[in-house]
Amino acid sequence: MRILLTGKTGQVGHELERSLRGLGEIIALDRSQMDLSDLDQVRDVVRTVKPALIINPAAYTAVDKAESEPELAMRINGEAPGVMAEEAGKIGAAMIHYSTDYVFDGSKDRPYLETDPTCPVNVYGSTKLAGEQAIQAAGIPHLIFRTSWVYGMYGKNFLLTMMRLAQERDELRIVADQHGSPTWSGTIADSTAAVVAKSIQAPDAIDWLRQHSGIYHLTCQGQTTWHGFTQAIVAATMTGKTPVLTPIATQDYPLPAKRPAYSVMSGEKFIRNFSDLPSWENALASCLQKKTGSDNL
């Protein structure tokens, strides 16, 4: 199977390039080779590569900056996936795409199901929802994996920021009233690779993907707050003196983009159809055992 992988230098793309090895001919591209803000280039790349499967982790992920760049965020997160899906339809290809817990408004107090109504509260969530809808409208075999609170030992993310700040400061004030499921980029990549492996074991991989088409929640299991996540990070990575971790409310740390107060998602559908998912605590431990950066590859 020829697989086109976008965003290979991103957190998830970096891990996917590792996890997908041996599952086909991987054409992994970075933004300089496939810029999702250039829709003509997106079309040209798909037509040139002619993949059987497109895996698209590339995205506009600057949640707060998206509030001031809604057109660019929509082009990358909403329009480009639709273009990929349209081109995939012309060549009989399938698509795996990643979305977000931020398609929900956070008003519930139990894990969101794939069938729950969406209602984004920020530009980022709205653009990611538009991408989901564009792929579905194309009518191609597709898997849309919603994930959340993504971190890893590569790139810029909450884990690496907290590890650095914990070394530099005596006190960290961390939001404690937003609830979600921290999800290691390695978990996303390995779980995706397990799905791809199942598809190529079937008599017809594309038909198998068509039969399983839909939205799935791919997150580590369990839930915590940003404060709870930081407590676990500090406990696992620091010895000796540690900073005081002070819980604060969202209103005490204002940001341009509103966040859902509760965005935990149920992974039962993914587990039932594909494979098990680790707890966020076990995934964090596995992540911290990995070496940083390019050593992962």
Task: Return the SS3 of 15.
Answer: helix
CB neighbours (10 Å) of residue 268? 15
Instruction: From 252, 277, 98, 269, select the one nearest 178 (Cα to Cα).
Output: 252
Q: Is residue 67 classed exposed, middle or buried when 0-12, 13-18 and 19+ CB atoms within 10 A define those classes?
A: middle
Between β-strands 224-225 and 150-151, what pairing exists: parallel, antiparallel or unpaired? unpaired
Q: Please, which residues have CB within 8 angstroms of residue 116's CB and are 6 or more apart in sequence?
A: 104, 108
Q: Would you state the structure tokens that stand for residue 63, as one six-digit string?
A: 């949640």
- Among the listed residues 112, 124, 154, 216, the single catalytic one is 124
Task: Return the SS3 of 93.
Answer: coil
CB neighbours (10 Å) of residue 183? 28
Rg (CA), the chain: 19
Helix ranges, the chain (H)? 11-19, 39-49, 70-74, 80-91, 123-138, 158-168, 185-201, 205-211, 226-237, 268-273, 280-289
Helix ranges, 122-184 (H)? 123-138, 158-168
Q: Indicate if 124 belongs to the active site.
A: yes
- Distance of alpha carbon 212 from alpha carbon 272, whole angstroms: 12
Structural contact between residues 66 and 127, judged by C-beta atoms closer than 8 angstroms: yes
Q: For residue 5, what is the enclosing H or E element?
A: strand 2-5
Task: Return the SS3 of 183.
Answer: strand
Residues acting as catalytic residues: 124
